[in-house]
Chains A and B, each alone.
Chain A
Amino acid sequence: MELILALAIGILTGSGVWLLLRPRTFQVIMGLALLSYAVNLFIFSMGRLGLAINKEPVLRAGLPQDLAHYADPMPQALTLTAIVIGFAMTALFLVVLLASRGMSGTDHVDGTRAKDAQEMP
């Protein structure tokens, strides 16, 4: 499980960073989205006592109330907040992206058409 999660985070981050460095605004926003997924998964993996696998998410009668038997609630709270904020910021970025596209007539991040850029069909 750890390996799968680590690979997922790694691939998402790698793709996110690569896309973030691309010249088109749509690629940048996809990169930011992938990066935020990677960060959210990463926060989950940073619970106390490592990754919580097969542990109860909420209190259950009869089970000792400590972190050895339950999933750490803290990363969940952090992730929830991060998702909400990230979602709002992506939406805002989308609006700015469209405004930039409308004003400059190109989807290049600098608002100028690069000389060697291929035209989208």
Chain B
Amino acid sequence: MGINRREFLKIAGISVVAGLGGASAVDLLRRAPVEASQVSPNPKALTAKRWAMVIDTRKLTETDCKRIIEACHRTHNVPEIGTKQEVKWIWTEEYEHAFPDDMNKFISDEVKHRPFLMLCNHCDEPACVRVCPTKATFKRADGIVMMDMHRCIGCRFCMAACPFGARSFNFGDPRPYVKEENRKYPTRMRGVVEKCTFCTERLEEGLMPACVEVSNGALIFGDLDDPNSEVRKALRENYSIRRKPNLGTQPCVYYIV
């Protein structure tokens, strides 16, 4: 036979490299949409081309915000850790911290101390999605920025990239810190990043996001691409602002001040 050990190793090596490289090259070229498809979509599911939220901050008091935060965190088994390694999906900030670029010293006292709800902006150009090395965080066709907790390697690049501080990392096991577990929503394990999901699991069942449901109309949720939607109506009739619009991420959470 005209094959010696050296040649065999050469051919074997090249085959392995070609095999591995070929597979990932096909993967790259295919650019498959990362949407998980349902076997039988729920006919009641709420759908949109571009989900967005409008927060009417004039209607919200501290108590309202507390109720909203509790509803969200209870629904999604968000742990109450209470240290600087905390996990939060929605919380409040004062105006100067919510909109740090607007350094107006003489803003009215009422606005200055009004609670502003902070959550993931589900940006049109999300920096977190751009930097994720495993596509564990991705943007769905309806604009929602989602997470795959089973794929996340916990590198926290997304946390460095998000200009809105919307993401939390499970530094330790979150489960002991979940007071009452909601069995309809998964808990997380340590070592992964999480954030608000615009309640995709509720939209699929035809329900509005948990925060919207308990907001008594102060939080409006709908399709930004539909000119007749509630969110478009609210934006048409009121002056609204967004957080850090100059960074070009195109946040989809609007604040009526």
Question: Are A and B physically bound partners?
Answer: no
Chain B: residues with CB nearer than 8 A to chain A? none
